[in-house]
């Protein structure tokens, strides 16, 4: 079965979205454990603004 470019783009977008969701889950767990927001941002590769939004 051959995938069209559109199918490949959708798969790629899904993978990126899945990775972001997982990073957010990990960041939330680290916040709950009391880790510093800046350190979490550095470790999971998310912008500090996203980490700060989770902390609220």
pLDDT tens, 12-51? 999 999 999 999 999 999 999 999 999 999 999 999 999 9
pLDDT category at 1 given cuts 50, 70, 90 is confident
* Extents of the domains making up the chain: 23-56
Give the mean pLDDT of 49-55: 95
**15, 21, 41, 19: which is closest to 30 by C-alpha?**
41
pLDDT of residue 56: 85
Token pair in block for residue 35: 């880790």
Q: Helix-strand-coil percent breakdown of the chain, rounded to 5? A: 80, 0, 20
Q: What is the largest CA-CA distance in the chain?
A: 48
pLDDT of residue 40: 97
């Amino acid at each position: 079965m051959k995938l069209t470019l559109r199918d490949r783009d959708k798969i790629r977008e899904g993978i990126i979205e899945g990775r972001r969701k997982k990073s957010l889950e990990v960041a939330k767990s680290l916040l709950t454990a009391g880790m510093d927001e800046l350190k979490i941002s550095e470790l999971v590769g998310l912008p500090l603004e996203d980490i700060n939004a989770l902390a609220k």
